Structure 1
């Protein structure tokens, strides 16, 4: 399961893409400082984009994962068989990144660590992962990334994939007006480029 992402994109680029899609992007907590980073991990804070009043969207920075019933972090969430609509004290969100990592058993049997693979969107400077956010009594507002069956680019590396929301569906996803089952699917072959991370 995805437990590390990269975000090296400038805020201006994210803003520009949302403007092109006619999705006004607000910053209710002020413009975030987004230093480029190759590593955002579970419990780190990173920007999410969610619905705001008046058919707009807002960018806020939130923690990745909330504590589950056993105390383990809920950082990935299976999407199959769920409606994933807007719920009380939470809802849908998008997580803008420009890469994510998966790990496989090391090819070298003497290696102490797993092999790390970086996935980026072919021909795009960044993309958005479909997620859910909620208010948690322990950690405050936090988000998780949705998962589904893997597409052909990811299947050789992992048995699940995070849900990459196509750009044309960003508005429908965060507004919660389109059924989740209509938007959640594995990515088609050739969508992702993979290199050793």
Structure 2
């Protein structure tokens, strides 16, 4: 499951792209301070665009904590979509890459770290991940929605977060649009994968 993502794109470029899609962005707390980061991890702050009531094509850009405390005290950073409609408190999580981790194809006895893989969008510099937000004892926080892995992610993990195509963003901000019409796999080849840590797998090795 995704517990690490990346954002290097500046806020001005993000707002400009939303405007190009006819999505009006409000900043009720002012322009968020979003430094470029290779690794955003659970409990870190990250920018989201959250829905504004029942308004379509309108969102609020705010900085919020990734994950809220669960009943067992562990952070809820991923949230299953199966059997849920998400009729309120939807949000778009802004990213330009996310990471998955796998066991090394060839064991490294002196190095216990997993192989690290970066997923980026093939056709765009950045994208939005489907999420929800809620109040919590630590303040407002968001989590990433997940589903069974699609063709680009399945070789690396059996579950995946849900990057959305640009024509799905306004639909996700509109709570009247059923979740099942928005939360689906991207076509095969939509995500590019780069290994950022670990030796390349041996030829023919299974991940």
Per the TM superposition, whether the score is higher than 0.5 is yes
**Structure 2 gaps, min length 5:** 197-207
1:75 is the counterpart of 2:77? yes
In 2, Cα distance between the equivalents of 1:128 and 1:73?
21
In 1, Cα distance between the equivalents of 2:168 and 2:154?
24
Q: How many residues are matched?
A: 192
In 1, Cα distance between the equivalents of 2:125 and 2:155?
24
In 1, Cα distance between the equivalents of 2:51 and 2:154?
32
Instruction: Verify the 8 A CA contact 1:149 1:186 in the aligned structure 2.
Output: no
In 1, Cα distance between the equivalents of 2:101 and 2:16?
32
Instruction: Verify the 8 A CA contact 1:150 1:187 in the aligned structure 2.
Output: no
Q: CA deviation at 1:166?
A: 1.5
Q: Give the corresponding residue for 1:98.
A: 96
Report the secondary structure of 2:83's partner residue: coil
Instruction: Verify the 8 A CA contact 1:164 1:187 in the aligned structure 2.
Output: yes
Q: Give the corresponding residue for 1:108.
A: 106
Instruction: Verify the 8 A CA contact 1:135 1:142 in the aligned structure 2.
Output: yes
1:63 is the counterpart of 2:79? no
Moved over 6 A (4+): none
Bigger Rg, which one: 2
In 1, Cα distance between the equivalents of 2:21 and 2:98?
24
In 1, Cα distance between the equivalents of 2:51 and 2:148?
26
Instruction: Verify the 8 A CA contact 1:3 1:41 in the aligned structure 2.
Output: yes
Q: CA deviation at 1:32?
A: 1.3
Instruction: Verify the 8 A CA contact 1:48 1:60 in the aligned structure 2.
Output: yes
- The two structures have a TM-score, normalised by structure 2, of 0.90
In 1, Cα distance between the equivalents of 2:148 and 2:59?
28
Instruction: Verify the 8 A CA contact 1:161 1:186 in the aligned structure 2.
Output: no
In 2, Cα distance between the equivalents of 1:193 and 1:23?
26
- The two structures have a TM-score, normalised by structure 1, of 0.94
The Cα RMSD (Å) is 1.1
Q: CA deviation at 1:178?
A: 0.7
Report the secondary structure of 1:140's partner residue: coil
1:82-116 deviation per Cα after TM superposition (whole angstroms, max 9, x unaligned):
11111xxxx10000100000000012312310000
Instruction: Verify the 8 A CA contact 2:94 2:127 in the aligned structure 1.
Output: yes
**Structure 1 gaps, min length 5:** none
